[in-house]
C-alpha cells in the first residue's frame, strides 16, 4: 500500500489562506518501500483542498486528506505526472490518510470534473 513516510509540517502565510511547508515530505507510490515516490519540497506553498467556502461545513479545506491535498497541489503545479495520474494518486493518498471512501470519491470526482481549471 502507498504510504506517506514523513510528517507534514506547515506554517501559515500572512494572507490566512495559504500555508508554507516547513520541511519536505515524501509519498511512496505502491508501497512504503517503493522506489516510485514524490518529494514535496520545503517552502512549497499550498492552500490544502481548494473547496468553495459554501461547502466547508461538509468538506473543509483541511481534514484527514490534508497531506493528499498538498501532494495534489504539488502534482498540479509541477505537472510531473499527467493530470489523471495526479488525480488517481490524490484518491489513493486520501485513503492512505484515513479519509472515508465516500468522501474520497466525492473529492476525486470534483477534481476530475473541475480540476482542469487549476491544471491550466
Q: What one-character DSSP code corresponds to residue 41? A: P
pLDDT of residue 20: 96
pLDDT range class, residue 3, cuts 50, 70, 90: confident
Q: Is the pLDDT of residue 16 over 70?
A: yes
Selected residue with higher pLDDT from 3 and 14: 14
pLDDT of residue 95: 95
Reading the block at residue 30, the C-alpha cell is 505502491
Tell me how many domains the chain contains: 1
- pLDDT tens by residue, 84-120: 999 999 999 999 999 999 999 988 998 898 888 888 8
Domain that holds residue 41: 3-119
pLDDT of residue 65: 85
- pLDDT tens by residue, 29-75: 987 788 889 999 999 999 887 766 666 667 766 788 899 999 999 99
pTM of the predicted model as reported, rounded to 2 decimal places: 0.89
What's the rounded Cα separation, in Å, for the pair 5 and 16? Answer: 28
Closest listed residue to residue 66, CA positions, set 1, 5, 19, 111: 19
Sheet holding 45-46, edge to edge: 10-12, 19-21, 45-46
Closest listed residue to residue 68, CA positions, set 49, 86, 45, 93: 93
Q: Which residues contact 97 (CB under 8 A, 6 or more apart)?
A: 4, 64, 65, 66, 67, 68
The CA dihedral of 88, 10, 12, 87, to the nearest 10 degrees, is: 0
Amino acid at each position: 500500500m502507498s504510504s506517506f513516510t514523513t510528517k507534514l509540517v506547515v506554517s501559515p502565510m500572512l494572507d490566512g489562506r495559504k500555508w508554507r511547508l516547513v520541511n519536505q515530505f515524501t509519498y511512496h507510490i505502491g508501497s512504503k518501500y517503493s522506489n516510485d515516490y514524490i518529494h514535496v519540497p520545503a517552502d512549497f506553498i499550498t492552500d490544502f483542498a481548494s473547496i468553495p467556502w459554501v461547502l466547508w461545513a461538509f468538506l473543509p479545506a483541511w481534514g484527514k486528506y490534508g497531506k493528499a491535498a498538498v501532494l495534489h497541489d504539488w502534482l498540479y503545479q509541477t505537472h510531473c505526472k499527467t493530470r489523471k495520474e495526479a488525480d488517481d494518486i490524490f484518491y489513493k493518498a486520501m485513503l492512505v490518510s484515513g479519509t472515508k471512501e465516500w468522501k474520497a470519491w466525492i473529492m476525486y470526482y470534483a477534481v476530475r470534473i473541475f480540476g482542469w481549471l487549476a491544471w491550466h
